[in-house]
Structure formats: structure tokens, C-alpha cells
Amino acid sequence: MATDLTLGPADALIGVDVQQDFCPGGALAVRAGDQVVGPLNALAARCATVVATRDWHPADHCSFAAQGGPWPPHCVQQTPGAAYHPALRWPAATIHVVKAEAAERDCFDGFSGRPDLAAVLRQRGVERVLVGGLATDYCVLQTVLGALRAGFAVVALVDAMRAVEVQPGDGQRALAAMQAAGARLSRSSEIG
């Protein structure tokens, strides 16, 4: 595996939760969340392996305020809010990962959402993952950490993610946590 930022067959892109409810106008909108679509599309067209994760909540999910959770209902199964952003151009061979589909269990990490994801990626020869999506301070952070725990090199695409920012500075703290755990922070324009 090259140590530079040139794409090769051992690289995969993971696009995290770029769904309608996390984009402007959605039930749990991330400010400027739709701006991650362009960089992700550009890299998806160049990567041999692409993974797309998405929340897929039942209507009574434990993370919703009505069940005592912190969030408004979002990404409810079979609703428009759970759909990927319409401008995303995932390749036909994209590996789709649904997570948090059981009412009693939340899941932020794409590797926990699909426990065989690391094995599937290794079967394809993947050694390094590039990660972007929504939101920096929750599912992107946890997916980056999950990839590192699984033994992959990780490039966190800072221009291809946006933060919820429940507390001011959450996004920057998440980036610092990714870097401290071993991820490389980069912009998609730096990927050769």
C-alpha cells in the first residue's frame, strides 16, 4: 500500500449516512450537509470499492425523543428522509450497509452495523479506507474509529463531512479524536 494519497486498488471509499434527513430541510439537518455530495461523487467514480452506510430506523427507535433519546425522529425506514441524497452517484457495485435498524439498539459505526464489513473489504484487497459523510461528530467519527480498530489505514476527508455541532466545537473535537487514533486528515482534492 502506498503511503501517499494516490488512489489504488487497495483503497475504498466509505460514504456515511448522506441521507435526506441529515441534509438541509431534513428532520435532523446538518448545516451544509449537502455540500459533501460533490467530493464523495468525485471519489466514488474513481474508487474500485465503495461503501455507503445509512441509518434505517424503525418508527419507535430508542434514539428518538419519544422513547427518551436525544434526537427527533429521522431516517425512518421506508420514508423519504431515509433515502440517500438524490444527487449522490453511488456506483452499481456499491456495498450498502444499514444500521440502527432494531428499535432497542443504536449504532453509529458502519463496521458495527455490518459486522462482516471488514472481512468483505479484505476479500477485495482493501487496506486503506477514505471516509466522509454525515455527521463528523457522530457516525463519521465512529466509522473512522471502527475502521482503525479493524486494522485499516484511514484517511478522513475533512471537506467531505459536516458536523451536527450539538455543542460548539464538536466537529473539531471529532477531527482531533480521529487524528489522535491514527487517521490521516486530508481534503478530497489532495487525493491523486
Residue of 17, 34, 55, 109 with catalytic role: 17
Flag whether 70 is in a domain.
yes
Q: Is the pLDDT of residue 25 over 70?
A: yes
Average pLDDT over residues 153-169: 97
Flag whether 44 is in a domain.
yes
Phi first, then psi: what are they for 21, rounded to 5°?
A: -70, -20
Is residue 99 flagged as an active site residue? yes
CATH code of 24's domain: 3.40.50.850
Flag whether 3 is in a domain.
no
Q: Are strands 95-99 and 128-134 parallel, antiparallel or unpaired?
A: unpaired
Is residue 159 flagged as an active site residue? no
Q: How confident is the model at residue 3 (pLDDT cuts 50, 70, 90)?
A: low
Owning domain of residue 87: 11-190
Phi first, then psi: what are they for 111, rounded to 5°?
A: -75, -30
Domains held by the chain: number: 1
Flag whether 23 is in a domain.
yes
Average pLDDT over residues 116-135: 97
Is residue 139 flagged as an active site residue? yes
Flag whether 1 is in a domain.
no
Flag whether 71 is in a domain.
yes
- Among the residue ranges 27-36, 103-112, 148-157, the one predicted with the least confidence is 103-112
176-185 pLDDT, tens per residue? Answer: 999 999 999 9
Residue of 23, 55, 99, 107 with catalytic role: 99
Average pLDDT over residues 104-120: 91
Average pLDDT over residues 43-69: 95
Flag whether 185 is in a domain.
yes
Q: Is the pLDDT of residue 130 over 90?
A: yes
How many percent of the chain have pLDDT more than 70?
A: 98
pTM, full prediction = 0.95
Q: How far is CA 78 from the centre of its chain?
A: 20
